Amino acid sequence: MAVFTEVSADEARALLRALKLGELRELRGIQSGIENTNYFVTAEDMFGATEYVLTLFERLTAEQLPFYLHLMKHLAQHGIPVPDPAADKDGDILHTVAGKPAALVNKLAGGHELAPGPDHCSQVGAMLARMHLAGRDYKRHQPNLRSLAWWNETVPVVLPFLEPEQAALLRSELAFQNHVAGSSAWQALPRGPVHADLFRDNVMFDGGQLTGFFDFYFAGIDAWLFDLAVCLNDWAIDLPTGRHDPERARAFVAAYASVRPLTAAERQLLPAMLRAGALRFWISRLWDFHLPREASLLKPHDPTHFERVLRQRIAQPVTAAALG
């Protein structure tokens, strides 16, 4: 379930009124999702009915949220299909509903494509590159909070829960990534706002056409290549085995590069960044699994999946040349 905080019809009506979005027609809790309270809201004004998503943030604070919400607004204003937070008369997009920080955004059409083919990958790849370019003049700054510094902090905390061989792999991969981060190629990587969690379940398709990216709550400033690597590790692998799927990966990268060609540093560091993307989610899944936060709403994902992906990335590096 994903209604952790009940919202009454009166509270929804008051929000719609403050945002001048018309009268409440329907308020329906969204059962999927593991982190926030989400409702579908239907409002009606003189132009007809419109569907929105109301999110009450259960974990992120009112201090952390402006970076994500304003990034979504910035991208929407630059023509990227992402949920656009509705503003009140003062221009505020972060509201309070039932005592929680909240946002109301447009509902993206369609559903997830959980078994993507090359065409889906190519649509996501091209839009990812457009999103990176559109984010170049975004003024707010918040680092990717699940990046190298967090890995260095968190690895010692999860190590005691691992078998010796897993611990050795985690230690050596972390050392490798610290080494990579000191290289001139890494310093030269182009950076900007990245989604950082653009898995299959954070993208919508309708009738085979991409309708949008959502769930920007792990976004931050980081290397664009990191975002690409996180995507390839989900969109272009065989989920049961973690094995690389060359056809989907080529479609993804070719479409990305048709909008924004990769630099020499990015081509050089693609294999290392694919390892970084796998490491990042191995660590976060280990952390959620072994150290569930008190009263946490998170349902832990299987950490061994990303251990498998990491082992594959090390044993069979995927180079930019192999992807065309």
Ligand X SMILES: N[C@@H](CCOP(=O)(O)O)C(=O)O
Ligand Y SMILES: Nc1ncnc2c1ncn2[C@@H]1O[C@H](COP(=O)(O)OP(=O)(O)O)[C@@H](O)[C@H]1O
The DSSP-derived string for 84-96 is -BPP-TT----EE
Contact letters for ligand Y, residues 99-138 (x by CB under 6 A): ------x-xx------------------------------
Contact region with ligand X (CB under 6 A), list: 68-76, 113-121, 134-142, 197-205:
197-205
Near ligand X by CB under 6 A: residue from 11, 173, 215, 222:
215
Binding site partner of 197, from ligand X, ligand Y, none, Cβ cut-off 5-8 A by kind = ligand X
**CB of 248 or CB of 285, closer to ligand X:** 285
CB 297 within 8 Å of CB 58:
yes
d(C-alpha 175, C-alpha 185), whole Å:
17
The rounded distance, in Å, linking the Cα atoms of 199 and 284 is: 15
Measuring CA to CA, how many Å separate 230 from each of 98, 104, 131, 139, 142? 35, 27, 15, 24, 19
Q: Is 72 in the site for ligand Y (CB under 6 A)?
A: no
320 binding partner (options ligand X, ligand Y, none; Cβ < 5 to 8 Å by kind): none
Of 17-56, binders to ligand X (CB under 6 A) are: 34-35
The residues in 8-67 that bind ligand Y, with binding defined as CB under 6 A, are 30, 32-36, 38, 53
- The answer to whether 155 touches 172, Cβ cutoff 8 Å, is no
Q: Could you give the CA distance from residue 25 to residue 109 in angstroms, rounded to a whole number?
A: 19
- Report the alpha-carbon distance of residue 217 to residue 228 in Å, rounded: 17
DSSP-H helix ranges across 78-216: 118-134, 148-158, 164-181, 184-187
- Residue 3: name its binding partner from ligand Y, ligand X, none (Cβ under 5 to 8 Å by kind): none
Q: Tokens representing 299?
A: 């349902």
Rounded least distance, CB 163 to ligand X, Å: 21
- Say if CB 216 and CB 195 are below 8 A apart: yes
Nearer Cβ to ligand Y (114/315)? 114
Q: At its nearest, how many Å lie between ligand X and the CB of residue 310?
A: 13
CB of 290 to ligand Y, least distance (A): 20
Q: Which residues bind ligand X (CB under 6 A)?
A: 34-35, 197, 199, 202, 215, 281, 284-285, 301
Q: Which residues bind ligand Y (CB under 6 A)?
A: 2, 30, 32-36, 38, 53, 83, 105, 107-108, 201, 214-215
